[in-house]
Amino acid sequence: MRAWPFVASLSLGLVPVVLFAAMAGMLVVNSLPALDNPGLDQLTRNEFASQFSTGARIYGIVPAVVGTLLVAFVAVAIALPVSLAMAIMATEFTLGPLGKLLRTLLGVLGGIPSIVYALLAVVLVEQFMIPKFAGDMTFPTFDAAKIGASPQTWPPGDVPFNAGAYPWDPTGLNNSTLLGGILIALLIIPFMAPLMADAISNVPRSLREASLAVGANRWFTLRKVTLPLAVPGMLGALSLGLLKAMGDAMIVIFVVGWQANSAPNPFFDVLERTAPLTATSAGLLGGFQGNSGTCQAVACHVGYFSAFMLLLVALVVVLATTVLQARLRRRIAL
């Protein structure tokens, strides 16, 4: 018979296990019917027409998967160099009190909820997206010849910026994948940077001091000693940031929208709106009604299936990171 601390902490500690198992089981049970009714054939089509658009209902989740990858790529591509610079600044290259200040600021910024970023998307639209990707096109004085449109057809009648008449659509910039990616990058920077800083400061002090003692400067030490040894920790931070970027729902629901009818063409077109898995799943489960969502059986199962895909992605990323970290650690073992 063990003492009570063991029994108590085991029974409490099993709560998260039960929670996780119940959630995974629920997702599997509810998403299995999706393999039956829309069928794997339809699920893997690059076409999506959901219940709130008229016509045939086609539940291909390829557009959503592409959307998830695009949003996560944009977010990580922006957040990685910035967090790396912040991590270096907070640990090895502190400038007086600036390193400590940076750590505090990151801690505080980490407390900003994602819905606040989602709401503030409008600022980035006004200050960045429209000027950069529509220019002065939204003004009536715009010289259409600049972009090759004939002056007679500009502005395009009483339906301004009709996406059918012109290949580009400034109003579509409000919902572009790029905008969602930038906001998610702002969300994950305060999350990744402290983790990366920890990875750097976890490198044994003796190694850094040995490098400095034989005459290397701090930059050389950072590049040749500290950063290579911190790579496993950095990888952990990167994978957590990636998972957060892929799993974010509020920013993409608010900014990018609920559904994408097809993957963007060309596939790297981040100015198109391509709703990721989270948003598509939420839309299918009835979240677009704000509350009391009731969804039809098929749509519901596809919604669960999309969520299950997210869980799978999380599992794969966590496992891959663990394996990679173990290999790297073995290689750089001292």
Partner 1 sequence: MSSTRATALSLPAVRRLSIDRLLAGAYVTTGLVAVTAALVALLENDAEMLAVPLLAAVTLVALANLAYRWFVLRKWDAGAIVVASLAVAGALILLALPEYLYGYEINGIIHRSIFAAPVLLVGGLPATSVGVQRLSGGTPSAQDLSRYPVLLVPIFIAFGAYTLLLVRLVSDGVGELSWDVLTHKYTETLEPTGFVYSAGLRTHILGTFMLIGLTSAISIGPGVGAGIFVSEFRNPFTHVVTFSTTMLRAISVFIIGVAAFSLVVDFAQDYPAGDPISDFIRGSYEDENGFQHAANGSFLTASIFLSFLVIPVIARATEEGLRSVPRKIREGSIALGATEGHGLLRILLPWAMPNIITGLLLGAAEAAGSVAILLFIAGTGQHGIGPLHEATSLSFAIFETKYGPKPFQDTMTQYQFTAALLLLIITLGLTAVALLIKGRFTARYRATLAGG
Q: Which residues inside 1-30 make contact with partner 1, applying CB under 8 A?
A: 3-6, 8-17, 19-23, 26-27, 30
Q: Compute how many residues bind partner 1; rule: CB under 8 A.
A: 115
Shortest CB 124 distance to partner 1, Å = 8
Q: Which of 39, 113, 204, 228 touches partner 1 (CB under 8 A)?
A: 113
**Binding residues among 274-293 for partner 1 as defined by CB under 8 A:** 278, 281-282, 285-293
Long-range interactions of 53-58: CB distance < 8 A, separation 24+: 53/261, 57/298, 57/299
Angle at 315 between CA 15 and CA 82, to 5 degrees: 105
Provide, rounded to whole angstroms, the least separation between the CB of residue 243 and partner 1.
5
Q: Give 163 or 332: the residue with its C-beta nearer to partner 1.
A: 163
Cβ closest to partner 1, residue 10 vs residue 331: 10
Scanning 46-54, 55-63, 198-206, 307-315 for contacts with partner 1 by CB under 8 A, the matching segment is: 307-315
Query: Of 28, 35, 115, 165, which lies in the binding site for partner 1, with binding defined by CB under 8 A?
Result: 115
Tokens standing for residue 276? 């990721």
- The Cα 49–Cα 56 span in angstroms is 7
**Under the criterion CB under 8 A, does residue 52 sit at the interface with partner 1?**
no
| Of positions 91, 176, 226, 259, contacts partner 1 by CB under 8 A | 176
Counting contacts by CB under 8 A, is residue 271 touching partner 1? Answer: yes
Give the shortest CB-240-to-partner 1 separation in angstroms. Answer: 7
Report the candidate in 167, 130, 129 with the shortest Cα–Cα distance to residue 148. 167
Q: Which of residues 126-155 bind partner 1 (CB under 8 A)?
A: 127-128, 131-137, 146-148
Residue 256 has phi, psi (to 5 degrees) of -85, -35
User: Considering the complex, what minimum distance in angstroms separates the CB of residue 46 from partner 1?
Assistant: 16
DSSP string for residues in 135-183 = GGGGSTT--GGGGT--GGG-S-TTSTT-TTTSS--GGGGGG-HHHHHHH
Residues whose CB is less than 8 angstroms from the CB of residue 212 and which lie 6 or more positions away in sequence, other chains included:
218, 221
111 binds partner 1 (CB under 8 A): yes
With residues binned 3-state (H G I as helix, E B as strand, rest as coil), the percentages for the chain, rounded to 5, are 70, 0, 30
Interactions with partner 1, residue window 199-228 (CB under 8 A): 215-220
Q: Over the range 150-168, which residues count as b (16 or more CB within 10 Å of their CB) and which as e?
A: eeeebeeeeeebeeeeeee
Considering the complex, what minimum distance in angstroms separates the CB of residue 281 from partner 1? 7
- Under rule CB under 8 A, residue 328 binds partner 1: no
First to last CA, the chain: 42
